[in-house]
Every structure is written in C-alpha cells, then in structure tokens.
Amino acid sequence: MSELDRIREEAATWLVRLGDEQSAETQDACHTWRQADPRHEQVYRQMEMLWNGLPPSTPTRPGKRIATSLAVLAVLLAGAYTVQPAHWLADQRTVLGEVRQITLEDGSRITLDSRSAINIHYDERERRIELLRGELLAEVRPDPQARPFRVVSRDGTAQALGTRYLVRQETDSSLAQVLESKIRVSPERDPQQAVTVEQGQRLRFDRERPGRLEAAESDADAWTRHRLVFRDVPLTEVLESLERYRPGWLSVDTQAIATLRFTGVLPSNDTDAALQTLERSLPIRVRTLTPWLVRVSR
C-alpha cells in the first residue's frame, strides 16, 4: 500500500467514526490527525467535499446514509487516483476479480491477474510484453526464429531463458518469480546490473537497481486457480491482497490489527467468504456497512 493509499484509508476511517459517534473525544482525535500532516487535511477535505455533494437518502437506521455515501465517495476518490488512460487502451486487460489466459501467436501463453493490463509487441526481432499494471504469468514456447521473449514493466525487463515465470508491478517496484528454468532481470535505468534468477527464486527490483535473490513462494501462481496462499503473513498484507479482487472499499484499522498474522488459503473469487474465514480464525471484527464498504477492526 502506498503512503497516499494509507492516508486515504485513514481519512475514510475517520469519516466513518465521526458518522457513528459525535463525542468530543473522537472529534478532538480526528482534528489531531488532520493537523499532523498537510496531506491528511487535503485528502480529508477532498473526501468530505465529495460526500457533502451526494444526494440525501432516507435510511432505515442511523448511520446507513453515512456508510452508503462514504462507500460511493471512496470509490470515486480511489478511481481519481488510480485510473490511467494507458490501462484502458491496453491490448489486453482484466477487470476487478477477473483472471484470464491469453494465447499468443507463437503459442506462448499469458495469464493476467485481476486489474492487470498489457500491450503485446511481436516483430521480426523480439517478442515483448509490456506490463502496464498488475501481475502476469508467462509460459513461453521456443521460437523458431530465436526471438527473445521479454516482459517489460515500469522498473525493467525480465527476459525468458526458459519457460514459466511471474512478473508483478507494485507501487514502488516490480517482483519477478521463476517457476521453471530461469530469467534475466535488468533494471530500466542500468541494464548492466542484470541478474539471473533461477528456478525457485524471486527478485524484487526498481528502475535503479535489483534487490537480493530470495526463495520464491511455493504457491506463487495459486492466483491463476483463484486461490491465495499465505504463510505467517501480516494480516494487513492479507487484506491488501484481497482488496485486489474486491469491489468497493475495504476500510482497515491498521493500528489495531498490526500484530496479527495469518496462515491459510483464501478464495480470491469469493472475498466475502475469505473475510468470514479471517473473522473465524483471528480476533477481528468484520462489519459490512454496505456491499461497497466493509470495516475490519478488533
């Protein structure tokens, strides 16, 4: 999660709390948070203005309009920060919750995760997949013309020296994991720092430099089968993963759950069931305020 995403989440949390309770203590705490960083105040005001511009409703119980309105404005504000024209104009893209396999003209296959986008460039010199957003699994077929197969992200290039590997573009870096054979990863601004990543290894890299080689996740491609596998992972990271497959806004009390960790398998194609599993397994509370707004706390 980026710093801006965290601030947006905290602003949404304060609006929910102020809607649920109007105590002087809560108002003072919110004021303190808003004054702690100019960005806090800016994002809070943006969300508040959008919320106040929504039409009124007649809820059946107190707080219903607040929750519904907040869900709408959260989606609108999130979209304002994340939608980029290049994603919508991509050669291939997936929508929220969709996992799709694409067969390329040479028989190679690309599987796109939820909210992913690619451009495909094939010519007489190379086979190049431009990853604009999200994650992909590349299953590479040998080429009679011996053209190299490359996945190019914002941060650099992962060239196939074998058959199956994953590339994910994150907020500040990219992650390559090799399932079979090996690849060669080159940072975008310094290709001379190229690193060979072998089967069973992974490498995080940004535009400037590669990171350290690490052991790859044994179920790194489980998302292609609509499964998310976690082994002693912070709950905050688990919820971030679920958010990639879930519509609306997942509001999380990150401080309250900071020490909690999770081991298990969750379905990515049924995030409501996944949240129920987490609630049964851990000392947390999952509140569905609307179908578009869910609050996770202790």
For position 278, which CATH number holds? 3.55.50.30
221 inside domain: no
16 inside domain: yes
Bridge partners, residue 227, by sequence? 267
State the total domains in the chain. 3
Identify the segments of the chain with pLDDT beneath 50. 55-62, 76, 79-81, 83
Q: Are residues 57 and 112 in the same domain?
A: no
Q: Are residues 109 and 144 in the same domain?
A: yes
Residue-range definition of the domain harbouring residue 230: 226-297
250 inside domain: yes
Q: Give the integer Cα–Cα distance in Å for 11 and 117.
A: 29
* pLDDT value for 12: 72
* pLDDT value for 2: 62
* pLDDT value for 150: 97
Of 215, 240, 270, the domain-final residue: 215
* pLDDT value for 60: 45
Of 65, 82, 99, the domain-final residue: 82
The CATH number assigned to the domain holding 197 equals 2.60.120.1440
pLDDT in tens, 248-279: 778 889 899 999 999 999 999 999 999 999 99
Of 82, 110, 132, the domain-final residue: 82
